[in-house]
Amino acid sequence: MIDHLSMSTTDYDRTVAFYDAVLAAIGAERCVDMVAHWNTEWPTQRICAYGPAGKPIYWIAEARESQSARHVAFAAENEDAVRAFHAAGLAAGGTDNGEPGPRPIYHPGYFGGFLLDPEGNNVEAVFHGHQPAE
């Protein structure tokens, strides 16, 4: 249902480094880098986007002021990818907001790991195929 979405950051370099790390851990890459030359009020505003195989889905835009924190969950192929996302995020300066693990409150197969990005957004990698122990 979602074609793309965007977030903003007041610390563009730090935030881009964070997303370079966490999204690479789940198979996405930065596929767009641009400057908003059309923005007459801020023609040097930086923007980038991430996605699989060059499809820009998750956009980051430089902002002058912080905005409300948001939540976004990225699909992971397996539990190891969730763990890699979480570890990469911690190494890239993110804050733990829920270690990787089952979250049966959502559904029995839910396995997620949560971080706060440099702007305070709650970002997650989730795998929906967790097999609970018998």
Q: Per-residue pLDDT tens for 27-45? A: 999 999 999 999 999 999 9
Buried b (16+ CB within 10 A) or exposed e, 77-97: eebebbbbbbbbbbebebeeb
Are the C-beta atoms of residues 26 and 75 closer than 8 Å to each other?
Answer: yes
Q: What is the mean pLDDT of residues 67-77?
A: 93
CATH number of the domain at 112, please: 3.10.180.10
Q: Is residue 46 part of a domain?
A: yes
Q: Is residue 41 part of a domain?
A: yes
Q: Is residue 134 part of a domain?
A: no
Q: What mean pLDDT is reported for the chain?
A: 94
Asked if pLDDT for residue 3 goes beyond 90, the answer is no
Q: Is residue 132 part of a domain?
A: no
Containing structural domain, residue 119: 5-127
Q: Structurally, how many domains does the chain consist of?
A: 1
**pLDDT confidence of 120, banded at 50, 70, 90?**
very high
Asked if pLDDT for residue 1 goes beyond 80, the answer is no
Q: Is residue 93 part of a domain?
A: yes
Q: pLDDT value at position 73?
A: 96
Cα–Cα distance measured from residue 128 to residue 108, given in angstroms and rounded to the nearest whole number: 9
Using alpha carbons, list the distances in angstroms from residue 91 to 1, 74, 110: 32, 18, 24
Q: Is residue 133 part of a domain?
A: no
pTM value is 0.91
Are the C-beta atoms of residues 42 and 96 closer than 8 Å to each other?
Answer: no
Q: Which two tokens stand for residue 96?
A: 């733990």
The continuous run of DSSP H or E covering 30 comes out as strand 29-35
pLDDT, tens digit, for every residue of 45-65?
999 999 998 899 999 999 999
DSSP-derived 3-state class of residue 109: coil
